Chains A and B, each alone.
Chain A
């Protein structure tokens, strides 16, 4: 039963109160019972036809309203697309251009009328020019996504043959069973220029700061190392102080550069599969001088042999080095910094535990922010830049990991680092060996 019939039958009882008085009038005019019945049926039929007509009219009007709304929406959408600063290009599943907005015309130097119906390859330099049909076919068959659903930076090709960088976001949609792809493109030539200028500026600043630091640190290092003879005790102490501070200044230059690169997302990461324990051992070895200076021993209390992670070795060494040197700096002399490595579901966790004075309550919420250092004598004596933990957090987050700390019950702090474990888990007997180094 269709909608029309439902509506018709549903309204039928409503006709009777109108039909009955007319039927009575017919009876009064001297019609026989059969004639009166026929007349009544006729009246009902006419009423039904009228009502059906009315319903049809209403349906038609409803459709018109919907169509008008659709048309208005389409106009609005087209106006939006036409006035967008970014280029919008819609293609079908064969790669044929369906929509090419004015921003795209301005960006590529092609008129929409000339490119609609043509293959999108037209706007791509090699190697994508030759490979794009293959991407579409592969996506159709296997669902493999190259650029779909994420932002990517690619090169595009103008009508005059020149190339330019664009930021591209592609969305897939299905209309009447047809698969379409809409691409939003932003010309990032200017952004790249600014990034290049910023890079050059940072490189210059880095170079300019490092050059005098090389001479200062070098001279002080040579005197400090006794190469040019013995100094009186007081002079030697002052030279040591100057040397230590030149080291600190160098760390600050490095850390500032790292913070800038992390902030702008331009720190390069080279991810590889990494064996975890050798990495931790390397970090401990590299931190030996700091440990020695503070008369602290770094001890691995639990190994996780065979564990591996996906990470950038240099950056992870930087994080581990930061946590280890912090732990040593804040440890009492002749104490131990414990490194505990364990599994936590599908992650590996490295705990670095010190027996120092702990982190002041007021510092805890902002410990991982820039220049988060306590104002107490204790923390100032540590000689850090106040950027290490902030950098470590950003690096760990780029690894999809987590960094944090747990204050000790009475003394000390445990900093932890969690990273996704890679591949097969180590056998249980490899865990909890608890051997000391």
Chain B
């Protein structure tokens, strides 16, 4: 197993139903270790201890939204350079463009395909680490 292999994902999502689907898709199908946080605040509390290799975050959330959460996580020294992906239903071209400027490596559109989500994330990870 290479040290670059993606194992640990911090998943920030406020919708419990989507958390449940994504958990099966990422852990069951993808074999990742996933820490699920229901809000940006929770992510900030858990992130350092969990030490994720990748942050996967929803965009529209009550309280801290995705970009605010990511900016706050980036201020934690351990997560300053952790790659991040937004997973969002805000998929209009100008919205995707805006999200990319917030410093994520990719934007995945919701609804995602749970059978291919893990592979999609692995492919993005691979492209980044080639």
Contact at B91–A218, with CB atoms within 8 Å?
Answer: no
Closest to A268 in B: B93
Which residues of the other chain, A, contact B20 by a CB distance below 8 angstroms? 215, 219
Q: Is A235 an interface residue (CB 8 A)?
A: no
Which residues of the other chain, A, contact B17 by a CB distance below 8 angstroms? 212, 214-215, 219
Contact at A221–B18, with CB atoms within 8 Å?
Answer: no
Q: Is B15 an interface residue (CB 8 A)?
A: yes
Which residues of the other chain, A, contact B89 by a CB distance below 8 angstroms? 206-207, 210-211, 214
Which residues of the other chain, A, contact B18 by a CB distance below 8 angstroms? 211, 214-215, 218
Chain B proximity mask over A191-211: 1 for CB below 8 Å, otherwise 0 = 000000001001100110011
Given A206-B90, A207-B60, A221-B115, A214–B24 Cβ distance below 8 Å?
no
Chain A proximity mask over B63-87: 1 for CB below 8 Å, otherwise 0 = 0000000000000000000000000
Given A207-B90, A268-B94, A217–B111 Cβ distance below 8 Å?
yes
A28 CB, nearest partner CB in chain B, Å: 105
Contact at A218–B25, with CB atoms within 8 Å?
Answer: yes
Interface size for A (C-beta < 8 A) is 22
Interface size for B (C-beta < 8 A) is 24
Known: A222-B115, A257-B92. 10 other contacts (CB 8 A): A199-B92, A206-B92, A210-B89, A214-B110, A214-B112, A215-B15, A215-B17, A215-B21, A222-B28, A227-B114
Q: Is A225 an interface residue (CB 8 A)?
A: yes
Which residues of A, 391-419, contact B by the 8 Å Cβ criterion?
none
B111 CB, nearest partner CB in chain A, Å: 4
Q: Is B29 an interface residue (CB 8 A)?
A: yes
Q: How far, in whole Å, are A344 and B75 apart by their CA atoms in the complex?
A: 59
Which residues of A, 92-139, contact B by the 8 Å Cβ criterion?
none
Q: How far, in whole Å, are A268 and B98 apart by their CA atoms in the complex?
A: 14
Q: Is B123 an interface residue (CB 8 A)?
A: no
Q: Is B22 an interface residue (CB 8 A)?
A: yes
Pick from A207, A212, A213, A222: contact of B25, CB under 8 Å: A222
B114 CB, nearest partner CB in chain A, Å: 4
Q: How far, in whole Å, are A218 and B17 apart by their CA atoms in the complex?
A: 9
Which residues of A, 211-260, contact B by the 8 Å Cβ criterion?
211-215, 217-219, 221-222, 225, 227-228, 250, 257
Contact at A218–B93, with CB atoms within 8 Å?
Answer: no
Which residues of the other chain, A, contact B111 by a CB distance below 8 angstroms? 210, 213-214, 217-218, 250
Which residues of B, 87-114, contact A by the 8 Å Cβ criterion?
89-95, 110-114
